[in-house]
Structure 1
Amino acid sequence: MTTFRSRPLPFGLPPEDRASSPYTGYTRAHWEAAADGLLHAAWRWATPGGALLDLPGPPSRSGVRSDGLEGYARTFLAAAFRVAGDGGKDPHEWLDRYARGLAAGTRAPGREDAESWPVVLDHHVQGQPMVESASVALGLRLTRPWLWDRLEPGVQDRAEQWLRGALRHLPAGNNWYLFPYTVAGFLESVGRGDAETARARERALELLEGWYRGDGWYADGDGRAFDHYNGWALHLYPVLDAHLAGDGEESARHGARLREHLESFSLMFGGDGAPLHFGRSLTYRFAAGAAVGLGAVTGHTPLAPGVSRRLVNGSLRYFLERGAAAEDGLLSLGWHGPHPATLQSYSGPASPYWASKAFVALLAPAGHPLWASVEEAAPSEGPDRVLSVRAPGFLVQSTRADGVVRLHNHGSDHVRPDEGESAAGTDPHYARLAYSTVTGPTSAANPADNHLSVVVEGVRSTRRRIRPLGAGHGDGWGWAGSWHIPVFPEGPATVPGLRVEGVTVARGRHELRVHRVLGAPDGARAELTGWAAEPGGPVRSRLYGLHGWAAAEPEDVRAPQGTAFTRWAVLPRLTADASGTVVLVALASLTADPGAGPLEPVVEAVDVRPGPDGGTVEVRVDWAEDGTGTRIVLGTGSVVVDHA
């Protein structure tokens, strides 16, 4: 496991309890203290009436007023989980502040004054308030006996009218439909439901059903975006809604999917507590643990309580110790500390407070098994594992010696169904071949890590739309494959007939990367890069050419803008002639194990030969350590992999 220098926390935490939490020392009291510390820091920036929390920093594309509402709504989630989980006890009187803010913000929505909230509009017309309406509604639902029920009827009516904007305007075509769903669920819970609320809920569930792809994974919309939004949105809202409503039928249906999701997702936390650095909105940080906490709270989990405790505690501690909260106690825009490349254009100063969703774990009271059970090892702290997740096209690889988890991506992209093959908008947080808990993708302005590019007339291709070819795993090994059409950011977007097929086979810490480039024009070249890491750091990236590459040993290329984990990075790169059709085989590894050996002796032999029909190619790799072999047969739109 990698080592680091812990940064001092900007707020106090209770003493560690290594008896009940031998891995992290954290207890439920640490979660309460963290919530209070983050809330105290944020409320220093509240408007006089408490309706807006105008946190310092550059505004998002939605503007300062929307950002202020975001500050109110997202911190309200943390306060609501904090108070509801303690049966209404509110030693810092958080709910009084949010009640005052609700009254002030809904007095004249849309007015340009010191307190009024922006109105909720369509997603493409300054639509961010729709996102925040769900947090306001969920906070009110969680704290109903101590906040909503004590409001004056006029304030309740004004709040309802503002919230109904979410039911009357168009969400974005993804998890946003769960925001009016959540608003409607609250209104129905307080006796204010009608045909409008019923339709909002029906529409969201209709879409959610279409987005479910199996293995516990939802696509975030009609495309193939699979990422952390599964846990902190697509599972969170329907499962929590059913739990709060006491709806056994809906709870069982959505809960079964959450349980299956956690079968694979629970492996995606490193031994140091880090979630995978993959997908968008990573500044939400420890919200990645929300699905784990929710599973423990509702009982829809395959994990023992001590394992769930280990995962949520580890994730919270990981970020707090690495400076996620700045010296003033505010969550910064970034990963460890500030990191602009981690952000999206919708990120504003209060955006990181969607991390509040992790505090759903506080809905488990002090005597709950989540807090009464002793921490147990996380899945990544057990034996080395390789797990294929067919629905999203993932191959997950963990190694006990260093606690590193790697995700090989052969199915998740960030391309809408209505978008064609274009290099515009290529997202480094989806387009790369692999991601991990100890590395991040390089900047779009630097050489791309973990990428197979075709170079035509000096222009490197990118990978956008990913077509899965399949995935599978056996005892100690696994594979996933996909193909894509290379697209070019300069000149014609595509080259007629050009395509790339790729297969990753993982065993132990090793990654066999097999690619077939088809239809490349004369003079084209191929480049394969490995993991981006800090030179001389505890995490080491290696790459070795086995077949088709100009040389076995790679060259090192620089990424001066670094990653979310290091200010400056280097990555290995192999090159080859790619004219026509070529098959390329390489071995890669990412390790923090000081005892890890070189890659050269790992593979004993590689045999590449065309299939009998001329349209297929067979790759046979013999492993030196145990005498086993891996066979990969690439056909037209198909792949077969076996290992014995």
Structure 2
Amino acid sequence: MSIPFDLPAEDRVSSPYTGYTRAHWEAVADGLLTAAWRWSTPGDALLDLPGRPSRSGVRSDGLEGYARTFLAAAFRVAGAGGDDPHGRLERYARGLAAGTRTPGRDDTESWPLILDHDVQGQPMVESASVALGLRLTAPWLWENLDEDVRDRAEQWLRGALRHTPAPNNWYLFPYTVAGFLESVGRGDAETAAARERALELMEGWYLGEGWYSDGDGRAFDHYNGWALHLYPVLDAHLAGDDELGARYGARLRAHLEGFASTFGADGAPLHFGRSLTYRFAASAAVGLGALTGHTPLTPGASRRLASGGLRHFLDRGALTGDGLLSPGWYGPHEATLQSYSGPASPYWASKAFVSLLAPADHPLWTEVERAAPVEEADRVLALPVPGLLVQSTRGDGIVRLHNHGSDHVRPHEGEAAAEEDPHYGRQAYSTRTGPTAPGNVADNHLSVEVDGRRSVRRRIHPLGAGGGAGWGWAASWHRPVFAGGPPMVPGLRVESVTVARGPYELRVHRVTGAPAGARVTHTGWATGPEEDLVSALHPLHGWDPAPETVRAPQGTAWTRWARVPRLTGAADGASPYACLAVLTAGPNPVPLAEAVTETTADAGGVEVVWAGGARTRVAFDPVRVTHVED
């Protein structure tokens, strides 16, 4: 699709995979900012972008437009050493002065106060972008403000230090505000306390291998990269704090060891977790690693991933005809959004422009692009801490994520709530498919049906993950919960194991404690009729002989309506259920019926013999997976 602003010519010499250079990143930042600023209020304090208001209201949405575009402008200007050819900082300075004025009778532009997250929380989120923008541009903006404007800005920002954030990555917003205030000589005990509290919580949320849970519980998603790693590592970099930089930089490096393998060959990030309308912000951790040196990737591989993500969305309709980022995935897509999403929410994509802090002569921009991990070889990567299994195939460039550990359920919520978040509760996600919408048939889902009620998967309990050369596994259990009646069936339990080998997914489930007459259904990948994708399920044991195909009329982020393969069977509890699943692209679909030549099962587990002689055994009590190549 056409991009509604000019870009430089592609450079296939230095960027053989994407054609994008640093000049492209600058041009995209300029184009996005020019389009967004057409919607500014007279005093430049708010950017009232068109679209459905968020639950926070239009004034908060306007602040969001100011703050998130300011972040892009700050990365652009600071990365260019203060060069501001479009005079953007002058407008942001005017907006800061207008936004922090004491509200009067005819006031239409002052910013909403920062209050507790459950009262008026969104301004606290935006305070971090305002503070970080001011910190990055301090020599050219902050230092030229009138003293009373600086005092008013400080007073507004301190609201983030004096009110309660949401119990997750939000604690990094006052941390970032405090970091800015200290950087301009306005630190005190209040700023020190905000920073100490955030770092203390981070230690509790860090579970190892580069993965933080986004608050208590098991919420592992893109917030690791565009929040939990970004703020402390960038803060340490800007402050020149070697001690904090080493601590949090080592975690970023460990995170990128696995996260780098989650980008598809077409540049797409995994469609997994919430706030996906931030799109190419998923590459922020990659750019930050390259900037600070805390990365296992070469500069050329880092640029290939970051530029691939940026170009992926620009080429697929993420921009409206007048150059705005639409709320959605490619174009507008309601099911991608959360209730807190507003017209300016997509501009947290600005975090990707952290790459511009690397100057033009940095290896991130001068080294020739190198292949992404998915382009090098077929890969299966087990991530035991988050309970995830990453599977990619070089031939079609698709990355699949098998979820046996992330559920976004808070500890106080318990297991009984009968609502499943499609962006966390499904068993698999990919770079080419999205989950089906609530109310539609659920893709990649095992459900127990009792008295006409189908269960959902809420709290996920990981049982392990591992593997070897060319294969891997991950396992979990959950207690099915039901809507429209008693939420739990006492004693009902589902154990699930995924084994990935090449393009194949061996899916094994054991259902225990099901009442008489219960049924079990299992679905595969959701694909559309116009897509060059093949999604299939092949029953191996425990299922009725023939799969069926069901329709999801609201589709996914990729297709207006979707088809989903489904298996059904009686929940007799005698032995496990086993099937093969596949998601692949191209003209030659993988023949599932020929992939496994023999299947044996009993109450203790399942063993399959693959074409070629390899054997995989999935055992229960406890869960163990063994695999032997012929």
Q: Same fold (TM over 0.5)?
A: yes
Give the CA deviation at 1:422.
2.5
| Distance in 2 (alpha carbons) for counterparts of 1:110 and 1:330 | 32
Question: Which position in structure 1 is the counterpart of 2:605?
Answer: 618
Give the CA deviation at 1:424.
3.8
SS in 2 for 1:377: coil
Give the CA deviation at 1:400.
0.2
| Distance in 2 (alpha carbons) for counterparts of 1:168 and 1:230 | 25
Question: Which position in structure 1 is the counterpart of 2:616?
Answer: 630
* Residues 1:407 and 2:406 are matched in the alignment: no
- 5 Å-filtered alignment, 1:141-180, equals 141-180=135-174
Label 1:111 to 1:269 Cα distance change in 2 as closer, same or farther (>3 A): farther
Judge conservation of contact 2:317–2:330 (CA < 8 Å) in 1: yes
Question: Which position in structure 2 is the counterpart of 1:594?
Answer: 587
**1:96-133 Cα shifts (integer Å, max 9, x gaps):** 11001001100115977221000000000021000000
Q: Which amino acid aligns with 1:452?
A: L
| Distance in 2 (alpha carbons) for counterparts of 1:536 and 1:19 | 34
Question: Which position in structure 2 is the counterpart of 1:568?
Answer: 561
Q: Name whichever of 315-324 and 531-540 sits farther off.
A: 531-540
Judge conservation of contact 2:510–2:573 (CA < 8 Å) in 1: no
Question: Which position in structure 1 is the counterpart of 2:348?
Answer: 354
Label 1:601 to 1:259 Cα distance change in 2 as closer, same or farther (>3 A): same
SS in 1 for 2:412: coil
Q: Which amino acid aligns with 2:596?
A: V
Q: Which amino acid aligns with 2:478?
A: H
- 5 Å-filtered alignment, 1:169-248, equals 169-248=163-242
Alignment length (residue pairs)? 628
Q: Which amino acid aligns with 1:435?
A: Y
**1:478-525 Cα shifts (integer Å, max 9, x gaps):** 000000000011111010100100000001110000000000000000
Q: 2:266 aligns with which of 252, 261, 272?
A: 272
TM-score by length of 1: 0.97
Question: Which position in structure 2 is the counterpart of 1:614?
Answer: none
- 5 Å-filtered alignment, 1:554-565, equals 554-565=547-558
* Residues 1:71 and 2:57 are matched in the alignment: no
**1:276-305 Cα shifts (integer Å, max 9, x gaps):** 000000000000000000000000000000
**1:301-342 Cα shifts (integer Å, max 9, x gaps):** 000000000000000000001011110111000000000000
Judge conservation of contact 1:111–1:118 (CA < 8 Å) in 2: no
Q: 2:290 aligns with which of 289, 296, 313?
A: 296
SS in 2 for 1:579: coil
Q: Which amino acid aligns with 1:438?
A: R
Question: Which position in structure 1 is the counterpart of 2:479?
Answer: 485
Over aligned residues, Cα RMSD in angstroms? 1.0
- Between the aligned residues of both structures, percent identity stands at 74
SS in 1 for 2:594: coil
| Distance in 1 (alpha carbons) for counterparts of 2:344 and 2:21 | 26
**1:519-551 Cα shifts (integer Å, max 9, x gaps):** 000000000000000125201101000000011
Question: Which position in structure 1 is the counterpart of 2:78?
Answer: 84
Question: Which position in structure 2 is the counterpart of 1:47?
Answer: 41
SS in 2 for 1:418: helix
Question: Which position in structure 2 is the counterpart of 1:541?
Answer: 535
Q: Which amino acid aligns with 1:201?
A: R
Question: Which position in structure 2 is the counterpart of 1:474?
Answer: 468
Runs (4+) of structure 1 exceeding 4 A deviation are 109-112
Give the CA deviation at 1:420.
1.6
- 5 Å-filtered alignment, 1:424-573, equals 424-535=418-529, 537-551=531-545, 553-573=546-566
SS in 1 for 2:174: helix
SS in 1 for 2:194: helix
Judge conservation of contact 1:341–1:443 (CA < 8 Å) in 2: yes
Question: Which position in structure 2 is the counterpart of 1:603?
Answer: 596
| Distance in 1 (alpha carbons) for counterparts of 2:102 and 2:302 | 44
Structure 2: segments with no counterpart, 5+ residues: none
Question: Which position in structure 2 is the counterpart of 1:363?
Answer: 357
Judge conservation of contact 1:109–1:162 (CA < 8 Å) in 2: no
Judge conservation of contact 2:283–2:352 (CA < 8 Å) in 1: yes
| Distance in 2 (alpha carbons) for counterparts of 1:581 and 1:74 | 55
Judge conservation of contact 1:286–1:319 (CA < 8 Å) in 2: yes
Judge conservation of contact 1:531–1:541 (CA < 8 Å) in 2: yes
Q: Which amino acid aligns with 2:592?
A: L
SS in 1 for 2:623: strand
| Distance in 2 (alpha carbons) for counterparts of 1:113 and 1:346 | 25
Q: 1:30 aligns with which of 20, 24, 31?
A: 24
Judge conservation of contact 2:576–2:605 (CA < 8 Å) in 1: no
| Distance in 2 (alpha carbons) for counterparts of 1:110 and 1:240 | 37
Label 1:407 to 1:41 Cα distance change in 2 as closer, same or farther (>3 A): same
Judge conservation of contact 2:616–2:626 (CA < 8 Å) in 1: yes
Question: Which position in structure 2 is the counterpart of 1:130?
Answer: 124
Question: Which position in structure 1 is the counterpart of 2:257?
Answer: 263
| Distance in 1 (alpha carbons) for counterparts of 2:555 and 2:56 | 28
SS in 2 for 1:124: helix
| Distance in 2 (alpha carbons) for counterparts of 1:566 and 1:536 | 8
TM-score by length of 2: 0.99
Judge conservation of contact 1:110–1:119 (CA < 8 Å) in 2: no
Q: Which amino acid aligns with 1:494?
A: M
* Residues 1:577 and 2:563 are matched in the alignment: no
| Distance in 2 (alpha carbons) for counterparts of 1:77 and 1:422 | 40
Question: Which position in structure 2 is the counterpart of 1:639?
Answer: 623
Label 1:463 to 1:127 Cα distance change in 2 as closer, same or farther (>3 A): same
| Distance in 1 (alpha carbons) for counterparts of 2:446 and 2:406 | 16
SS in 1 for 2:320: coil
Label 1:408 to 1:330 Cα distance change in 2 as closer, same or farther (>3 A): same
Judge conservation of contact 1:519–1:581 (CA < 8 Å) in 2: no
Label 1:300 to 1:374 Cα distance change in 2 as closer, same or farther (>3 A): same
| Distance in 1 (alpha carbons) for counterparts of 2:340 and 2:107 | 23
Q: Which amino acid aligns with 1:555?
A: E
| Distance in 2 (alpha carbons) for counterparts of 1:283 and 1:239 | 23
Judge conservation of contact 2:491–2:512 (CA < 8 Å) in 1: yes
SS in 2 for 1:461: strand
| Distance in 1 (alpha carbons) for counterparts of 2:448 and 2:143 | 62
**1:357-408 Cα shifts (integer Å, max 9, x gaps):** 0000000111100000111000011110000001100000000000000000
| Distance in 2 (alpha carbons) for counterparts of 1:249 and 1:111 | 49
Q: Which amino acid aligns with 2:593?
A: E
| Distance in 2 (alpha carbons) for counterparts of 1:24 and 1:549 | 45
Judge conservation of contact 1:137–1:183 (CA < 8 Å) in 2: yes
